[in-house]
């Protein structure tokens, strides 16, 4: 059974191996369980290592669409840039402005091992980039300066302390 891991878990900083349809777990069941965890935690996306699974799989839910499971996703094209605040299910209450590409094209396999390509922009593109970073062992906190992270941590403490009251 998978569960959401929090920021200090070492799996979040490990680069993951490709998902192997011949020998890894059932991709349909994995996708369904990851979608449930993402939705239960009000996320827009989630990476396999965030739920304790060490293969290259992400779930994203583009605006107005059903969730998409992407096995072995790879960004094949990118352009533009945008800088918006983003959060992470493994870092509750922490929001940081991160620079990302505005438009990306992603090649991936679906749960049935079919090759797919999708072009996304705006928040959907940012979400996929954030989740692919997780697969590479990169957490969004490493994409900003120490000063920006310290300020965001201060806001996080305030936010979480306010929820506890």
Residue found under tokens 């992270």 = 149
User: Is the model's pLDDT at 163 over the cut of 80?
Assistant: no
What does the pLDDT look like over 117-149, one tens digit per residue?
Answer: 999 999 999 999 999 999 999 999 999 999 999
Mean pLDDT of the chain: 94
Nearest 5°: the CA angle 134, 73, 90 is: 20
- Out of 31, 33, 86, 131, the active site residue is 131
> Is residue 115 classed as helix, strand or coil in its secondary structure?
strand
Question: For residue 155, what are its two tokens?
Answer: 């806001």
The answer to whether the CB of 49 falls within 8 A of the CB of 26 is no
Look at residues 69, 72, 62 and name the one whose alpha carbon lies nearest to residue 111.
Answer: 69
What does the pLDDT look like over 9-66, one tens digit per residue?
Answer: 999 999 999 999 999 999 999 999 999 999 999 999 999 999 999 999 999 999 999 9
* Ordered DSSP codes for 43-58: -SEEEGGGGT--BSEE
Domains of the chain: 10-164 (3.90.45.10)
Quick check: is 131 catalytic? Answer: yes
- pLDDT confidence band for 73 (50 / 70 / 90): very high
Question: Distance (Å, rounded) from C-alpha 94 to C-alpha 114?
Answer: 36
- What's the predicted TM-score (pTM) here? 0.93
Question: Distance (Å, rounded) from C-alpha 67 to C-alpha 45?
Answer: 8
Residue 91, Cβ neighbours under 10 Å: how many?
19
**Given this model, what pLDDT does residue 88 score?**
96
């Amino acid at each position: 059974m998978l569960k959401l891991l929090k920021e200090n878990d070492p799996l979040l900083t490990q680069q993951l191996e490709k998902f192997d349809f011949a020998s890894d777990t059932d991709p349909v069941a994995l996708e369904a369980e990851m979608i449930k965890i993402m939705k239960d935690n009000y996320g827009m996306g989630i990476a396999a290592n965030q739920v304790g699974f060490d293969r290259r799989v992400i779930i994203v839910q583009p605006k107005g669409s059903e969730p998409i499971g992407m096995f072995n996703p790879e960004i094949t094209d990118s352009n533009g840039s945008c800088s918006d605040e983003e959060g992470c299910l493994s870092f509750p209450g922490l929001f940081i402005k991160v620079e990302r590409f505005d438009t990306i094209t992603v090649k991936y396999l679906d749960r049935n091992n079919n090759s797919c390509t999708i072009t996304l922009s705006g928040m959907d593109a940012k979400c996929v980039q954030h989740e692919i970073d997780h697969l590479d062992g990169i957490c969004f906190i490493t994409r900003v300066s120490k000063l920006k992270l310290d300020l965001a941590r201060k806001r996080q403490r305030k936010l979480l302390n306010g929820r506890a009251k």
